[in-house]
Structure 1
Amino acid sequence: MDHQRAPLPQRFLRTPEAGRLLGLSGRTLEKHRTYGTGPVYRKIGGRVVYAISDLQAWAERGRRASTSELTGDCVSAAKPRGVGRSLRSV
């Protein structure tokens, strides 16, 4: 009898675990969430969690073949332009 196994549930990581997987600090991932530049995350029961597949996909966006390669995608924790500026400086 051929029994097919159900796929395992998707594994989620909390911020510190996700940071270790990516080689980043948890604080860096928090900044990415604030600026909207980081990997996709979920809030489950009030806790932030990341799917491993989403972390891998986000890291792939930063993949380059050379330093001169021009793309629109950037994996950076820098503030996007205009974020955090006061109205007085505009």
Structure 2
Amino acid sequence: MPTVVASDPRATLRGGLPDRYLTPDDIADMFGVPLETVYQWRRKRTGPPGFRIGKHLRYDPADVRAYVMQRKSAGQSAA
């Protein structure tokens, strides 16, 4: 399956997530937020769920997609 390369990291969320675990830097790039915001989301448990592999924080692309879909449906039901 060919890899989609986009100049806008947020296009990754529209065009399909990579087939690897994502780093906090990846999440910050995708959502267009500072890296510190990603860590605040984790502390407050408001962002996509992450997990640790040793000392490294990673995100499952399926969990990130589910988080985005949940946020989109919550926004539509509030409108």
TM-score (ref. length: structure 2): 0.62
TM-score, normalized by length of structure 1?
Answer: 0.56
Instruction: Give the partner amino acid of 2:78.
Output: L
Q: 5+ residue gaps in structure 2?
A: 1-18
Cα distance in 1 for partners of 2:46, 2:78 equals 18
Give the alignment partner of residue 70 of structure 1, picking from 51, 70, 78: 78
Amino acid at match of 1:20: D
Structure 1 stretches lacking a partner, 5+ long: 1-9, 72-90
Which is richer in strand? 1
Sequence identity (%): 22
Select the structure of larger CA radius of gyration: 1
Report the structure, 1 or 2, having the larger helix content.
Answer: 2
RMSD: 1.9
Deviation per CA, 1:23-75: give whole Å up to 9, x if none: 2221111001111111110100211011111112111222134xxx428xxxx
Q: Name which of 42, 46, 62 aligns with 1:33.
A: 42
Local SS of the residue matching 1:48: strand
